[in-house]
Amino acid sequence: MLAVLSNLKQEQYGYSLLKNLAGKGLEVDQGTLYPLLRRLESQGLLQSQWRVDSDHPRRYYVASPAGRKYLERMKEDWTGIIRVMENILEDNPGGKS
């Protein structure tokens, strides 16, 4: 969710988002991403519209205002998790308790 929302500050269609995430090292299955986009839209975190680009229509998604707020919260949570894990891993460098 964090990856998807952070990449939808600018409008993108589903397949281009898929390629962008893959290009940044996050391989996501189409069967996972597209239903996720629909769920996020149903929760009001994304907005979408159909546009006819090139030769066929595409559905473009972008983070809604609520989605951007939620993204900021998720980024704080994620940063917190990283900090906690770094503390844990520092205390147990070899993985021993």
Distance CA 97, CA 95 (A): 7
Nearest residue (CB) to another protein, 59 versus 68: 59
User: What is the length of the chain?
Assistant: 97
Q: Report the distance separating Cα 43 and Cα 47, nearest Å.
A: 10
**Shortest CB 2 distance to another protein, Å:** 20
Nearest to 40 by CA among 20, 77, 78, 12: 12
Find the distance separating the first CA and the last CA of the chain, reported in whole Å.
32
Each residue 54-73 as x (binds another protein by CB under 8 A) or -, in order, gives: --xxxx--------------
Nearest distance, CB of residue 71 and another protein, angstroms: 23
Q: Which of residues 4-43 bind another protein (CB under 8 A)?
A: 13-16, 19, 30-32, 34-35, 38
Binding site for another protein (CB under 8 A): 13-16, 19, 30-32, 34-35, 38, 50, 56-59
